[in-house]
Structure 1
Amino acid sequence: MTAQNLDAKRLQISFVHPAYPTSCISPNLMTAEGVDEYPGFSGTGFFARRGDTVFYITARHCLTMDQDADVAALAARLHIPYSLAARTESTDDYVQFEDVLSLKHESDDVPGRFIDVLVLTVRRPTGAALYNELLERAVKLPYNGQWLDQFVNHPSAKEDLESGKGIRFTVMGYPREGTASQIEYPEDEPVEIVTQAARFSGYLARGTGPDRYMLTEVDWPGDLSGFSGSPVIVGFRNDEGSNYALAGMLVSGGGRLAQFIKISLITEALKAPPG
């Protein structure tokens, strides 16, 4: 993505990366009860950090569409490797989670009882090296996420946003179609999993609900299925060079449009009680 020239005084962002945070993402590999040996793809997630605490973030609907489901039990069926490049041979090679945080809402304009985001706190493994690897992979979380809302409401951004020609944002995740990602279940052999990420971009615009923003003129040629749970990243340039920051998480898309949950609500979910 071409870095955007934004007014550094208007966007006081201290949680930026000097390079695109490519390594934060992971495919959601998930098993169903009774068939633990046959994992399947279920959208995308990503590692994020605040200080030395690591979280795994994904869309709630990637695990379940049932508002009454036990999401903690479902999250326990996620197989998220510490490293996408290493071979996984036992449960020790997969991240374990402590708490599952869901964000309730009281808006008539948002369906269901929960914002479509889950935040899972990562349990520290016995080996410090594994946790350090996650810290390196994780994208930085802002303190409260209000910076994007402030920018969207700034008078200088209003015209571009209303026309659907705002800043260009990018999304990186694991679509169901259009890449080499696949899972093979050879008889009497370990499951073979191949993953290949993809990236697309679009222009920032106002979303269809108070919990989200929208991307217009999305340049991914295929179906967006599988991108749900992907991080949405904005790039900009200041006096120090190119910078990249987390802006939200993708939840739906189609017809060259994509919707993403605001970063301010993701950071709000960190304060939610477990369960």
Structure 2
Amino acid sequence: MTTYLVTGAGGGLGAITARELAARGDRVVLAVRDPARVTPPPGDTEVRRLDLADLASVREFAAGWSGDLDVLINNAGVMAVPYAKTADGFETHMAVNHFGPFLLTNLLLPHLTGRIVTVASGLSRLGKIQLDDLNWAHRRYSPVRAYGQSKLANLLFTQELQRRLTEAGRDVRAVAAHPGVARTGLDRHFGRVSAALVKTLYPVIAQKKAEYGALPILFAATEDVPGGAYVGPGDRSGGRPRLERQRPDHELARELWEVSARLTRR
């Protein structure tokens, strides 16, 4: 039996991913901010508390993990939210989408035996990594670009993680995936920040089932894909996911890792 840990599994793509993995007969741990509000899917499932916006919560969660973990799915995220800082002083997108998963992955690495899947986004192309201002202290804040930066960070994190795993001789793979345009509650803030994006994306969202968005995540978690791969949707109708082309930036990935390690006190 394979053990999966899915973050942000209380709703959206995380809930679908957890449900489908449990239906296969695997053990699934759902990591959510408020366990009292989550009913786990049928099967060998368990709900545990994890708030990725709070590094203390991340450390507590990791300290409570015992035994092997086959697959970690870094799915939890926020999208296009208004500017705010977490208790650790991080901008919300970077805290939840990057710094929290970065610390969680590193703390759980001794337990991991299979792979780490990190959920990115096609909107990573809108992101720009500004290493000296990752938390938007000196730039004019843009919710969409802040989201894009955090999702680009996911891709760079996966690249550098795979390099380090290979260098260490670990038989663990780091893989990224993105759902394409998926109909979930994650996009509820878009109407406030970008009317143009809403006009472009919502007709597509309305036609696409959320289950289709989970397919690349499930593919990355269960199929024989190479370390460092980036899995995307096949089409809007649930086609077989496919590997996406990437332009790795190994130097930037290394620098982002070092800054992230310093800021999270890893």
TM-score under structure 1 length normalisation: 0.28
Larger helix fraction of residues: 2
Give the structure, 1 or 2, with the largest relative contact order (CA under 8 Å, sep 6 or more).
Answer: 1
Q: Which has the larger radius of gyration?
A: 1
TM-score under structure 2 length normalisation: 0.28
Larger strand fraction of residues: 1
